[in-house]
Chains A and B, each alone.
Chain A
Amino acid sequence: MEFLSFGVVIAASIALAVYARVRRGSGNARDFFVASGQLGGLLVFFLTIGETYSIGSVLGFSTGVYLHGAAFAGWFMGYILLSYPVGFVLAPLLWQLGRRTGSMTLADIFRAHFGSRLLEIVVAANAVAFLLPLGQTQFTGLISVMRSLHWHVTPAMLAGAGAGMTFGWVALAGVRAPAYVSVLKDVLLVLAIVAGGSAALLATGLPAAYVATPAAVVPARQDLFVVSTIMLQSLGLCITPQAVAFVFTARSARMVRRNQILMPLYMLMFPFLYMIAQFVRKRGLAVSSANDVFMLGVTTTLPPWMQGIVAGGCAISALVILAGVCLAIGPLVSRNMLHGLSDRGQRVGAQVVIGVYLLLSAAGAAGLGSIMVTLNNLYYLGMIQIAPGLLVALCGWRVSPLAITAGLVAGDGLAVGLYWAGLMPGGVNPGLVGLGVNALIVAVAALHRSSCAR
């Protein structure tokens, strides 16, 4: 039964991707990558908010609460929640700058404002390098969900099928495909989370579901790490290449800002996710792998046909996020790193890059199993280093592109170096330490330039 309902979900997602192709515009690179900036409020809302209920957050949040309790919930919900006010301020300004400069990618903004090929390539390379683990993360989540249904399918087959489907969506309709499919994905995931959470709460036994426990003693160093990570990731989530591209799909800056106001309300499903994790922990269910907590809660509490829908929702969630990442990486390579390609060349080049990226990610995930949180941390360490240069561009300040490049490279090197060495000065997240040095280099260059101008 779960196989049938899963199949219906997958078929519906393919039908939506086909419909997205019917709705496509001129068929040029701008339409392929950013829908010619013509998407309406509802589609931009679902496209932008996709990461709130991505497979990473659904599986990762349940796993984190199961393993670490309230401290994890604080970090995870805190950074997502605060990314909306950041987007409320930044996203419309990004939209305006993008429209003014004709940008399609994050690196386009840097080329237009700073007029430097070197900086454009460094920004594109930084984005691509730190986006690489994200594809594998989505496949790992997909494999984890499917494993919990006990179907006789190997990880390699699953990852291959997922890669093929994602490539098909993207080739069919570009960014419009994940935009339309994300509506279905979010409706399904919200229903799944509410159903699973409610069933978990009822199964645990009302009203004494949860017993009050004394608050844990939290060292100041841990607090500092949580706060610095929330600050780092709340900003980072808004300036990832795919988030910037999604902003460019919107028809107006006003719509982008208005959407941000409603987004936190969309997080009201997190209490249900919390209940599922608590249910698994308090029942003492045998968890074979840390990423299995959510699906174990679902398979224990929901009927088979619902399990198929939940698995289908999780699967297309992984693929929608993956499609967004692919559509960010493709033009960063074919448009920004390989300069001078024709409009058609950019589209075809991007599809080749996307194909290779999907194959590598699928192969990586089929051979490995890892906890998503680790990859998630490394991802933000690098993404955040774009922030000082982007802020300079948004404010229209004049700073030497060499200083922006130096800041970015120094920030990356320091953040990743500290992370791998396991060092956290004063308990502060290494990414924020790197960002501090990066911002300092940019600030010194800006002050030097203004003093020279006088």
Chain B
Amino acid sequence: MRVSDTSDNAREALPATTPLMLVVGLGLPYGLVIGGFLLFEHVDGVVFGFPPAVAWLFACMVLVPVCMAVAWWLGRVRAD
């Protein structure tokens, strides 16, 4: 197994850390994970074999990267 030590485009700038980027990349994930869990833990039933609150957290494993990807894009737009 050969893993490169130096395979990154380090010369590109870091996307800007703006208030909007913080809301989308940090605030929204907190709202989704904590708000959703508190909401769904009181719901009866089963989603794909899991309790609704647990299933929601599994969904957040996809939703949270989407939030961060949008925040990254917003930061890049601002940096450009």
Whole-angstrom distance between the alpha carbons of A41 and B3 in the complex? 10
Select A41's contact among B8, B54, B61, B69, beta carbons within 8 Å: B8
Interchain CB contact under 8 A, A254 and B14: yes
- Report chain A residues within 8 Å CB of B15: 254, 257
CB contact under 8 A between A260 and B46, given known A23-B5, A215-B41: no
- Residue of chain B at shortest CB distance from A180: B3
Contacts of B53 in A (CB 8 A): 70, 73-74, 215
A255-274 at interface with B (beta carbon < 8 Å): 255, 257-258, 260-265, 267-268, 270-271, 274
Who on chain B is nearest to A234 by CB?
A: B30
How many Å lie between the Cα of A73 and that of B52 in the bound state? 12
A218 within 8 A of B: yes
Closest residue of B by beta carbon distance from A73: B54
Tell me whether A183 and B10 are in contact (CB under 8 A). no
A residues less than 8 Å from B61 (CB atoms): 81, 264-265, 267-268, 270
Q: Which residues 1-49 of B have a CB within 8 angstroms of A?
A: 1, 3-10, 12-15, 17, 22, 25-26, 29-30, 33-34, 37-38, 41-46, 49
Interface string of A30-70 (1 = CB under 8 A from B): 00000100111111000000000000000000000000011
Contact B1 A85 (CB under 8 A): no
Q: Which residues of B contact A70 (CB under 8 A)?
A: 41, 51, 53-54
**Given known A-B contacts A70-B53, A274-B54, A227 and B34 have beta carbons under 8 A apart:** yes
List chain A residues, Cβ under 8 A from B46. Answer: 210-213
Give the complex CA separation of A253 and B1 in angstroms: 26
Contact B30 A81 (CB under 8 A): no
Whether the Cβ atoms of A39 and B5 lie closer than 8 Å is: yes
Contacts of A184 in B (CB 8 A): 1
Indicate if A403 sits at the interface (CB-CB under 8 A).
Answer: no
Complex: how many Å from CA A209 to CA B71?
A: 39
Measured in the bound complex, the distance between the Cα atoms of B59 and A268 in whole Å is 9
Asked if B68 and A42 make an inter-chain contact with CB atoms under 8 angstroms apart, the answer reads no
For residue B9, which residues in chain A have a CB less than 8 angstroms away from its CB? 252, 254
**Interface size classification for chain B:** 35 or more
Asked if A215 meets B44 with Cβ closer than 8 Å, knowing A88-B25, A92-B14, A257-B14, the reply is: yes
Q: Which residues of B contact A82 (CB under 8 A)?
A: 29-30, 33-34, 64
Cα distance A322–B15 in the bound complex, in angstroms:
33
Chain A contact patch, size range: 35 or more
The residues of A that contact B62 with a CB separation of less than 8 Å are 264-265, 268
Complex formed: what's the CA distance from A268 to B43 in Å? 23
Q: Closest CB-CB distance, A160 to chain B, in whole Å? A: 29
Q: A88 and B26: CB pair below 8 A?
A: yes
- Name the residue in B5, B7, B26 with the highest tally of chain A Cβ atoms < 10 Å from its Cβ: B5
Question: Is B5 a contact of A81 with CB atoms below 8 Å?
Answer: no
| A38 surroundings in chain B (CB, below 8 A) | 5-6
CB of A253 within 8 A of CB of B14, answer: yes
**Cβ-defined contact, A71 with B41, below 8 A:** yes
Tell me whether A343 is interfacial, beta carbon within 8 Å: no
A340 interface residue, CB < 8 Å from B?
A: no
Task: Please determine whether B57 and A81 come into contact, CB atoms closer than 8 angstroms.
Answer: yes
Q: How far is the CA of A209 from the CA of B67 in the complex (A)?
A: 33
A70 to B14, CA, bound (A): 38
B66: min CB distance to chain A, Å: 9
Asked if A84 contacts B64 (CB within 8 A), the reply is yes
B1 pairs with A16, CB closer than 8 A:
yes
Decide: A215 and B51 in contact? CB cutoff 8 A.
yes
Residues of chain B within 8 A of A215, CB atoms compared: 41-45, 51-53
Alpha-carbon separation in the docked complex, A367 to B44 (Å): 44
* A195 proximity list for chain B (CB < 8 A): none
Is A391 located at the chain interface by the 8 A CB criterion? no
Q: Does A348 contact B (CB under 8 A)?
A: no
Q: Judge whether A86 is part of the interface by a CB distance below 8 angstroms.
A: yes
Q: List 20 extra interface pairs beyond A74-B53, A85-B29, A89-B25, CB under 8 A.
A: A40-B5, A40-B6, A71-B41, A74-B37, A74-B57, A77-B57, A81-B60, A81-B64, A210-B49, A215-B42, A215-B51, A218-B41, A218-B42, A227-B38, A257-B14, A261-B68, A263-B65, A265-B61, A265-B62, A271-B50
**Contacts A/B (CB < 8 Å), 23 sampled:** A41-B8, A69-B51, A70-B51, A82-B29, A86-B26, A88-B71, A89-B26, A184-B1, A211-B46, A215-B41, A215-B42, A218-B41, A223-B38, A223-B41, A231-B34, A254-B12, A255-B10, A258-B72, A261-B68, A261-B69, A261-B72, A265-B61, A268-B61
